[in-house]
Structure 1
Amino acid sequence: MSTDSTVTTVATEFADGVLTVTINRPEAYNSLNKQLRAELKEAFQRAQLDDVRAVLLLGGPKAFCTGQDLKEHIADLQAGAGMGKVVEEYNPMIAELVAVDVPVIAAIEGASAGAGWSLALHCDFRIAGQGASFKAAFPSIGLATDCGMSALLPRIVSDAKAREILFLDRKISAAEALELGLVTQVSDNPVADARALAAQLAAGPTAALKEIKALLRRETLAAADAEADAQARLAVSADHKEAVAAFLEKRPPLFSGK
């Protein structure tokens, strides 16, 4: 499952009804580049086959997924590509995850940020390690949310708390995430506990669980489309250009509000 014959950014394993999908870009803190987005989309399509009864989504010990690969993003901007990848790659990837009708469990170790946090929020269960952290990250680089976060976050933590989290863009610890209901459990061994939960769910009444998930599911793809429009506008904003320059120059950005 790779667009590159020598490098695979997603590893998959299927056993006993559980499809395990592992994000595998440790050298880039599991940030999302073009290949990883394509491979995750393929993995989530595989998760929709009849033999899959539960899905386990894993990152790495240092990072679950840190969102957009900023080096790739800078290269895209320099090439005049803008934010087309949100519509062409991010939203289709998320659409396939939303379409998975069996339970999806994420084991989250290390950092989860930006679109990587959105991936986790789309899962039915999130088991975090003690050192896990969560950050929207979008305002810090002069952008809006994507991948449906603007719909998911208020639903989980309340509208007021979502505004605080997104506007102030502060990092949330695993302990606070549990208190806010952003994660199901905080564990000393999140991968093992997530595997055990996936096995339990895979051995359960799959048809009933599918129906329950369908009843609970709310439409987030419309929000993702609206977010894509906002990203397209912000990609050419002065603040985003300043944020990119600050990243390259390793200094804090000076936002002008434009």
Structure 2
Amino acid sequence: MRIGDMFTCCDETSGSQLEPVLELQEKSGELAALLQLLHHPPSPPLELPRDNKFDPVVYDPASIIPLPLLKPLLSTLADKYSLEEEIVDVLKVHLLAHAPAHSLEVYGFASLHGMEWEVSGASQYVLPMASYRFEEVKVIPTVAAYHNLVRLQDFRVKALRDLLLGEELFPHGYGKCQSHWEMSNEKWDRQRKALIGRIESATDVAGEMDALTDTFQDCKMCHKACTAAVEMLAYKCRRLPRRLDQLPNLY
């Protein structure tokens, strides 16, 4: 039943002298938002340019429907008033647009309402779970939803460590500096060993290693090798799974 069908309950032929009245339980703000949706269906939020295809999509904050208005529309009103699928799909895009700034809230809300695509989309922005207070974690509705985040973050930490340990300054001797290669290798190895124990799921491993590049300014070959190693590390890290739907099936 569409929202317009609701008003057929106000039967003008009933013989009553009273004005027909339809009682609604929604708050005035929610009804105003609902009517606005019906009369002026929303457009998707404005997508901002990305530096490369591996970066997550980011939207213009000014074009996003505020989360306090959006959540009741998606949680109850969309189903209760049978909003058209096209409108609901746009609302879900607005929900996901909030994920970078409100990752745990969006993840919990989407998990509660069975929005699998939005769950995966929000999962990439969730900070390491240990960084949240107990009260914040309560927005995650089920143990399974919590466990899925732990799985994703555990996979990323292990994968980032493996990539870092496997990246050499002079791979297979390529670009090897005969004068400084031993000293440069030691600096590279010392830097990554210092980093390895601090890696979290959102750590920019390549960015951390890039701090070493300036220490090779006195040698063009070592500087070039370090720059290439950092760029290769960044490329490999960008290709790692960031979302739940990208996790290997057996993990």
Q: Normalising to structure 2: TM-score of the pair? A: 0.31
Structure label with greater radius of gyration? 2
Q: Which has a greater percent of helix?
A: 2
With the length of structure 1 as denominator, give the TM-score of the two structures.
0.30
Task: Report the structure, 1 or 2, having the larger strand content.
Answer: 1
Relative contact order higher in (CA < 8 Å, ≥ 6 apart): 1
